[in-house]
A and B are shown apart, each in its own frame.
Chain A
Amino acid sequence: FDNKLFHPSTQMGKDPDMASAVAAIRTLLEFLKRDQGETLFGLRESLTSATDCLTGVDSSVAVSSAGELFLRFISLTSLEHQDLSQCKKVMEERGELFLQKISMSRAKVAKLCHTFIKDGAKILTHSYSRVVLRVLEKAAAEKKRFSVYVTESQPDAAGEQMAAALRKLDVPVTVVLDAAVGAVVEKVDLVIVGAEGVVESGGIINKIGTYQMAVCSKAHNKLFYVVAESFKFVRLYPLNQQDVPDKFKYKADTLRSSQSLSEEHPVIDYTPPSLITLLFTDLGVLTPSAVSDELIKLYL
């Protein structure tokens, strides 16, 4: 198959606002439509290899969780229909339905979360998250007045992107250094961050710098909110930073090219559930301990 066609960036190019996981699923769905295989087993094999190919390009947690969800959903469907062509048709229909549902998930999260932002609030956020942006857009649309502090979030300075988007909404925004988080936390009322993955314990995996923000906000007794769609729930259970698998900590190119990983900087970190106040998902507003409950429902 043609690798370029199945590059998630082609999907993202069409809509830059799409979550990387959604792009991955869309790619997989396209792949499914074009598959010429004759047997179910062959179909499953090729889908697995496609997922590996995707994670090879973009090794983020969200993509891997999306791939796993899609595979699981496929194997469930294959149990019901024995005839391959009928099976594929059902899969495609359900895939489209699934995509529609998850593209609505951001709107649902925004609807739940914006009520927690009070008028006059000072918000601290980390790096560039499209979900957080959506939430703040909704809050601004509801005529709430708030100001935002964004961390610069090196090494890719994604925070600047966030600040630019917020300025377009006429929201007063200040960009702070990553090192200044501890000093800024006492000025803010709440902290809202996105997540790349939500793990079984109720903790989150997010851009590096999230963990220290969580620790500082806990020390100052500030509310720490996480906004994430439900397809980001993943069946990992890290015990500490070291326990997060290397394939998530470093970019795919880094994993391929570097000699020794100890010289590389990890791009994500793990925030344990004890530091998180609430998680806003399209399944509802959850406490960290309820995440395991939802995961059991999703996967068992």
Chain B
Amino acid sequence: MADSGVTDGAEKKEDITRVKNEGKELSKEEKQRLRKEKKSQKKNKEKKDEQDALASEREKNCAPSTLSQPAAHKEPAASPPVQAAVSEPPAPAAGAPPADKPAKSKAELKAERRARQEAERASKPGKKGDPGPQSTAGKPKAPPSELQPVVKRLPEHVQVDNPEVLKKLAKKLERQQTPGRGAALKIPLRSDYGYKVSLFSHLHQYSRKAPLTQQLSIPSTVIHPVIVRLGLQYSQGIVAGSNARSVALLHAFKQVIRDYVTPPNEELSRDMVNKLKPYISFLNQCRPLSASMGNAIKYIKKEISNIPSQCKEEEAKTKLQDCIDRYIREKIVLAASAISKYAIEKISDGDVILVYGCSSLVNHILCEASEKHRKFRVIVVDSRPRLEGREALRRLVKHGISCTYVLISALSYVLPEVSKVFLGAHALLANGYVMSRVGTSQIALVAKAFNVPVLVCCETYKFCERVQTDSFVSNELDDPDDLMVTRKGKTQLEGWQQVSQLGLLNLVYDVTPPDFVDLVITDLGMIPCTSVPVVLRVKNVDQ
């Protein structure tokens, strides 16, 4: 894969074989060490001694430091099963500085490494002492040697408070440039902004006033301009809503494919996927990818890699563009009409329907229903700071539907007169939980208390294999400055950064349990919330 830097250091084969052998020895040593730990309940002294030996060995290896070394280090480092927090953090930490500042002398580097290892060792007794609270703080590497060999890694975007992970990400973004170009054209790493509430310190929090595009040099030959524009639209909130984002992404990729030229001695199917990777990282930095976008990208990558090698370039490009068009048509447009068909059966005359925020699908359903002359009225519930309900209100009123507009604080006041609640979804998780705009689970909860049926409308391409039971583990933090509001010329929260104990939290998503949802309407029909894994299974069989 192009990700690994091993291809760069291909010339220094002897170095690599030596390092690999060292790596194997390391892993054996580590395994022995782990056994000892389990028996003797982690004798810190032994570990310290062995770590010194290992560190000195690694320092010897790092002496001929090239770019290939840290990468090669990572390959054997990744393969030994439990590398966790025990000894590997020193390795990438040791590996990273030589790559960034080759000007520093070896002695200085050694000193740095020593200092870092001391710090690790100092923090380790603390870590070992209470693995419980550590693991809940979101660090999966904390319970080290007890883990089984196959440790499922958490994605980096939920480990923002782990400095090693951030360093790895920086390195990955650096490596995702076309080989041979200068280091100035790498994808920049976006830095967090402002104080983060401690419960969510494992997530990114960016400021809208500092978009990623400001850090890009012009001209940027790595990233296609259409992708740069898309990234800016995402980060500024110009394109918002999961359907809109997916469609914009697919159109941008179509343009990229149109402008793509296969370099000589490269195969289209493999090279195009490699070209797309930096774009996806860039978009991820602008705004974290949604589940629907993730599924769309998976689909495109599969289609690209399925292109037969003897296919001519023009033919392949038109084929891919057709695939993308078909995906948009089938999964989004036709799905919307199928869902409206089912949903309209559930709307009877005299209904009072409650909607929250602005879901393109729910708006579409209500507009279709009013065209089919159903008599109903709508209550639009809205919430700060996004106030998306105003857009929904505008669209519905334009279709002649009588609407009422309330803020979410008035929910329990309006619910007694509501007959049904229609909600949109950002994604449907494999355990039946619904991930949607923050506030949705509150609406579902209060509706359940009033015995009002809750219907969720969601296309099948938003179903994802992830499992989540709470809104903390994986979420998105929006710009905290959005919460500031100016009334009568005064902005109360203006100086919030100066107040040390004050944190502003602007969550974007939340997760609703399936007990609160009565019905999910998808393009496959009406299913209960618990049947999402069945649909995922059927979909996988189809593909």
Task: Provide the bound-state CA to CA distance between A202 and B527, in Å.
Answer: 10
In the complex, which residue of chain B has the Cβ closest to the Cβ of A201?
A: B528
User: Known: A239-B346, A273-B528, A289-B528. Contact between A201 and B519, CB under 8 A?
Assistant: yes
Cβ < 8 Å to B, chain A residues 230-248 = 237, 239-240, 243
Task: Provide the bound-state CA to CA distance between A181 and B411, in Å.
Answer: 36
> A residues within 8 A CB of B527?
200, 292, 296
Judge if B518 is at the interface, Cβ distance under 8 Å.
Answer: yes
In the complex, which residue of chain B has the Cβ closest to the Cβ of A203?
A: B528
Asked if B519 and A292 make an inter-chain contact with CB atoms under 8 angstroms apart, the answer reads no
Task: Provide the bound-state CA to CA distance between A273 and B518, in Å.
Answer: 10
> B residues within 8 A CB of A79?
none
Q: In the complex, what's the smallest C-beta–C-beta distance from A59 to chain B, in angstroms?
A: 19
- Per DSSP, chain B at the interface is mixed
Asked if A289 and B526 make an inter-chain contact with CB atoms under 8 angstroms apart, the answer reads no
Judge if B534 is at the interface, Cβ distance under 8 Å.
Answer: yes
User: Known: A200-B528, A292-B528. Contact between A240 and B534, CB under 8 A?
Assistant: no
How many residues of chain B are within 8 Å of chain A by beta carbon? 16
Asked if A296 and B531 make an inter-chain contact with CB atoms under 8 angstroms apart, the answer reads yes
Judge if B131 is at the interface, Cβ distance under 8 Å.
Answer: no
Asked if B518 and A292 make an inter-chain contact with CB atoms under 8 angstroms apart, the answer reads no
A-B contacts besides A200-B526, A239-B346, A239-B453, 18 pairs, CB < 8 Å: A200-B527, A200-B528, A201-B519, A239-B420, A239-B518, A240-B451, A240-B453, A274-B515, A289-B528, A292-B527, A292-B528, A292-B530, A292-B534, A296-B527, A296-B531, A296-B538, A300-B524, A300-B538
Question: What 0/1 pattern do residues 429 to 463 of B give for CB contact below 8 A with A?
Answer: 00000000000000000000001010100000000
Residue of B515, B518, B524, B531 touching A293 (CB-CB under 8 A): B531
User: Interface residues, chain B, CB within 8 Å of chain A?
Assistant: 346, 420, 451, 453, 455, 515, 518-519, 524, 526-528, 530-531, 534, 538
Asked if A293 and B526 make an inter-chain contact with CB atoms under 8 angstroms apart, the answer reads no
Task: Provide the bound-state CA to CA distance between A296 and B149, in Å.
Answer: 38
25 contacts between A and B (CB under 8 A): A200-B527, A200-B528, A201-B519, A202-B528, A239-B346, A239-B420, A239-B453, A239-B455, A240-B451, A240-B453, A243-B346, A273-B528, A274-B515, A289-B528, A289-B530, A292-B528, A292-B530, A292-B531, A292-B534, A293-B534, A296-B527, A296-B531, A296-B538, A300-B524, A300-B538
Q: In the complex, what's the smallest C-beta–C-beta distance from A240 to chain B, in angstroms?
A: 6
> A residues within 8 A CB of B453?
239-240
Task: Provide the bound-state CA to CA distance between A300 and B451, in Å.
Answer: 31
Residue of A237, A289, A293, A296 touching B519 (CB-CB under 8 A): A237
In the complex, which residue of chain B has the Cβ closest to the Cβ of A235?
A: B525
> A residues within 8 A CB of B526?
200, 237
User: Known: A237-B519, A239-B420, A239-B453. Contact between A289 and B531, CB under 8 A?
Assistant: yes
Task: Provide the bound-state CA to CA distance between A273 and B529, in Å.
Answer: 12
* Chain A interface size range: 10 to 19
Task: Provide the bound-state CA to CA distance between A227 and B518, in Å.
Answer: 23
In the complex, which residue of chain B has the Cβ closest to the Cβ of A237?
A: B526
Task: Provide the bound-state CA to CA distance between A115 and B40, in Å.
Answer: 51
Q: In the complex, what's the smallest C-beta–C-beta distance from B447 to chain A, in angstroms?
A: 12
Asked if B531 and A239 make an inter-chain contact with CB atoms under 8 angstroms apart, the answer reads no
Task: Provide the bound-state CA to CA distance between A293 and B524, in Å.
Answer: 13
> B residues within 8 A CB of A300?
524, 538
Q: In the complex, what's the smallest C-beta–C-beta distance from B293 to chain A, in angstroms?
A: 27
Task: Provide the bound-state CA to CA distance between A2 and B499, in Å.
Answer: 88
Task: Provide the bound-state CA to CA distance between A300 and B453, in Å.
Answer: 26
Task: Provide the bound-state CA to CA distance between A195 and B319, in Å.
Answer: 53
Q: In the complex, what's the smallest C-beta–C-beta distance from B520 to chain A, in angstroms?
A: 10
> A residues within 8 A CB of B524?
300
Task: Provide the bound-state CA to CA distance between A240 and B346, in Å.
Answer: 11
> B residues within 8 A CB of A201?
518-519, 528
Q: In the complex, what's the smallest C-beta–C-beta distance from A195 to chain B, in angstroms?
A: 17
Task: Provide the bound-state CA to CA distance between A292 and B515, in Å.
Answer: 16
